Chain A
């Protein structure tokens, strides 16, 4: 079957009519194809496809894309140019009804060519992708600053972050703050369903999977403030599961950590002191809980803006505005039964309904005391 069986002179259905013979403009086609490829590749580089390159990994991954564009455009151009040329040159013109084309059944040489060339190209691309993959997942070199470890915990519908391996106390936060030019390894867990921890500017992402800890590392390479995005469908609040990530200079990062450690120590110490804490301590504990959570309960600040606690979450109502004039009972009710009375414009079921279980009685009381005090300001 393989050999070319061209019956050029063979007349078509209608014996009287000879096979029509149209010129084939091979070189024109090649020229058009080359020009179109050049334009396509140029466009591929000219269009601003990506967000800011916020990590060293982003450079590698963007390069992969551009290499793929260079490899793909010729194929698309080839198919499109040949299709359009066939339409233009070989279309049935008036008077050609009933004519057949030449009975070409195949050409083994051609078939081998268009099997092997794509195969070689694809294996080449795979090799390149594999090399890039090892690069982006590589641990920092020996001389680099010590890698930062951040535990990321997802819950419907917020993230909490815990900094491990610091000098001194671990730090919990509802906001992700990272130092520039220092490799950071995220260890990702989830308390309920699948989530996916993604900052588009860093390019890397991975699912948070119940039962296992997943991880990836990036090295932030730009100062700036972007969004942490949940990329795996996790329920009704999936589209709203956004938080802030800020990349700062190493000096500012260290200062931020020290500030956090100081605040966190006070809170933990007071909580350890038991029920004897006075009102000021209560509010301090409440503030910490609001901004950091307690490891099981997600920080309120992940979703709510409250200027006193320095949080800027936008998933839930802005507590600077809505809390005014609330009684402690109302506040406690809104924390424990969030779906009973949902603020206008917000959807039922977004706020975790398990604060009654994840917060201890004392913690809840502290949180309410803090919020009442803040609301009264």
Chain B
């Protein structure tokens, strides 16, 4: 037993978590002058929620190497025991292999997708008719707040990090990420953030209910469940900053020989741009929630107007992160679409350099548009017009991307399988989201529709029709690489058509509802909106069901799908040149890049070559793959 508690793992993690709870109590006890009665439950919760993830991670073994290194004890940089996974249990350990971490990320974040989706189902059940059906207004406010927070912070942002974690080092010809141990920490912070947010449902007064925007001063005066958001965001944010930093260093310092910046696949470019946004913007959301926490826990006056605080400051700080966050949730998807459209149209990406530059343009402009969320916030009115112009201008690089994708397909040989269908679905749906976005940039129109269902429709066309469609496309596209199995094409297509049809029936009418004057974030609405809400609710249940097809397809195919060849899509990028799944260390020899990543239609074009031509073919890679299964004895 003692040895269990000393060795890194779940026993020690549990033990250290308990220690952190005791320690939190002891700190408060001491801070209150050793008066046990003065320690409040909420005070304890605040300290414990901040402390336990670090102790849990420590117990799990995330910091062991660094402790050894800092204390000067011998470390073994050549120890690759944390690489590869031979059984499902390996996915529940600290693992430094980017491929294992990628799968951990994707599976965990999809778990949160189902959690968040379930909350959406409950909300639609409540909204199916006017009046009260299943939940009271307080619980309803809690549902939409947790729904949005979970899907944004624990699904869309990390699932992109997960997909990129898996394929990005392979794509640039690196054996792993630059900081594999930091990578593991990034991942394990995520379930901690998830647990914290879920815990809010057990808080007195219910889960946090001031929206994912958590506007002060409502979030300052809200019931204690609110701290689960303020603290959960700290860990989710730390996780995404650490991952972004890791991506940037990996991309800058670990590209294969010959892989110049303009030979990088666009997915790499997309994650490079996204990571820049994360590193620069995410500290702002952490700070905004820290202010709320200080106001709540220690009686600070950041948002107390009576004491000279400024309420609108919260919104400026919050949106300075949260608008770039929209691009954090979209740019990696752009990368995925560029990969898929080129491979599935059998043509080079049209205007590759403009595709890369437009990403960077979005990064730069993305920092200059935040206040378009605040046209009716009561801020200084002169800020509005410059923000309207920048917001409209940011549509230009986005338009360049859309037109370039269309040109990429033009005269190609389109293979209409599931990833491609989702990519095409993305293209059409995202245009709608983009158009309503430009409409919303126009101040007079925004004054009318902000805080209505038009906004709900817009955000879902961007994040569901946009981001989620690219996520599905990416998951289907790399599923053979990640699992070594083929998914079921028929079920995949069924999933696409159900998603596409019911997505539109669910969210398109919301535009109309918003224009007719239905405000968002309401548990109840007037009779005139009843018909459309019933239609939306029914369609949303069908949309929910469609995700079960996806779940079944993924689970069944992973367990018993057809074995995947190394390169089922006949793609040129490096990740497809190694076995499926790739060998434990990705490459026996680092490949040399000799051409662009999308030279389809160019006779004899190759992107990368391996040192010995014999090892470049998929069959010859098999022995390396076999090593991976015996390596963890």
**Is B one of A's binding partners?**
yes
Spell out A's residues near B (CB within 8 Å). 1-2, 7, 10-13, 15, 19-20, 22, 24, 47, 49-51, 60-61, 64-65, 68, 72, 75-76, 79-80, 82-83, 86-87, 90-92, 96, 98-107, 110-111, 114-115, 118-119, 122-123, 125-126, 129-130, 132-133, 136, 188, 192-194, 196, 198, 200-201, 203-212, 214, 227, 229-240, 345, 347, 349-350
User: Please, how many angstroms separate the alpha-carbon atoms of A90 and B69 in the complex?
Assistant: 58
| 4 tightest A-B CB contacts, nearest first | A211-B305, A200-B517, A103-B601, A239-B522
**Residues on A with beta carbons closer than 8 Å to the beta carbon of B410:** 82, 86, 90, 104
The answer to whether B376 touches A206 (Cβ under 8 A) is yes
**Are the C-beta atoms of A230 and B519 separated by less than 8 Å?**
yes
Q: Is B490 an interface residue (CB 8 A)?
A: no
* Cβ–Cβ contact B427 & A238, under 8 A: no
| Contacting residue for A86 out of B217, B348, B376, B414, CB 8 A | B414
Q: Evaluate whether A129 and B445 lie within 8 angstroms (CB atoms) in the complex, with A87-B424, A90-B409, A102-B601 already known.
A: yes
Partner of A103, one of B351, B414, B602: B602
Which chain A residue shows the least CB distance to B344? Answer: A92
Kindly provide the distance from the CB of B603 to the nearest chain A CB, expressed in whole angstroms: 6
Cα distance, A50 to B218, chains bound together (Å): 31
Check if A125 sits within 8 Å of B409, measured CB to CB: no
Query: Inside 8 A of A105's CB, which chain B residues have their CB?
Result: 348, 350-352
Find A101's partner among B346, B424, B451, B517 (CB 8 Å cutoff).
B346
Q: Please give, as numbers and ranges, the residues of chain A lying within 8 Å of B336 by CB-CB distance.
A: none
Task: List 20 extra interface pairs beyond A65-B515, A206-B378, CB under 8 A.
Answer: A61-B445, A61-B448, A65-B439, A79-B402, A79-B406, A86-B345, A101-B346, A101-B600, A102-B411, A105-B352, A114-B399, A125-B438, A129-B444, A205-B447, A205-B451, A209-B312, A209-B377, A231-B452, A239-B522, A345-B132
B428:A80 contact, CB within 8 angstroms: yes
Q: Which of A72, A136, A194 contacts B435 (CB 8 A)?
A: A72
Interfacial chain B residues near A106, Cβ < 8 Å = 350-354
Chain B residue at smallest Cβ distance from A14: B603
Across the two chains, which residue of chain A brings its CB closest to B448? A203
> From residue B522, how far is it (CB to closest CB) to chain A in Å?
4
Query: Closest CB of chain B to A186's CB: distance in Å?
Result: 12
Which residues of the other chain, A, contact B215 by a CB distance below 8 angstroms? 193-194, 232-233
Partner of A204, one of B306, B407, B448: B448
Beta-carbon contact of A103 and B444 below 8 Å: no
Which residue in chain B gives the minimum CB-CB distance to A119? B396
Whether the Cβ atoms of B378 and A212 lie closer than 8 Å is yes
- Inter-chain contact A72/B602, CB cutoff 8 Å: no
Whether, in the assembled complex, B416 has its beta carbon less than 8 Å from a beta carbon of chain A, the answer is: yes
Chain B interface residue count, Cβ-Cβ cutoff 8 angstroms: 92
Is the CB of B310 closer than 8 A to any CB of chain A? yes
Partner of B443, one of A80, A129, A205: A129
Separation of A80 and B601 alpha carbons in the complex (Å): 25
Cβ–Cβ contact B211 & A104, under 8 A? no
The answer on a CB contact under 8 Å between A122 and B445 is no
Which residues in window 344-389 of B have CB below 8 A to A?
Answer: 345-348, 350-354, 376-378, 384-385, 388-389
Contact B392 A125 (CB under 8 A): yes
Contacts of B262 in A (CB 8 A): 1
Q: Give the most central of B211, B218, B600: most A CB within 10 Å.
A: B218
Between A and B, 22 residue pairs with Cβ closer than 8 Å are: A10-B602, A75-B431, A90-B414, A91-B413, A92-B415, A100-B346, A101-B413, A102-B411, A103-B602, A105-B351, A115-B396, A119-B393, A129-B443, A136-B444, A203-B448, A212-B378, A229-B517, A231-B519, A232-B451, A233-B211, A235-B210, A236-B138
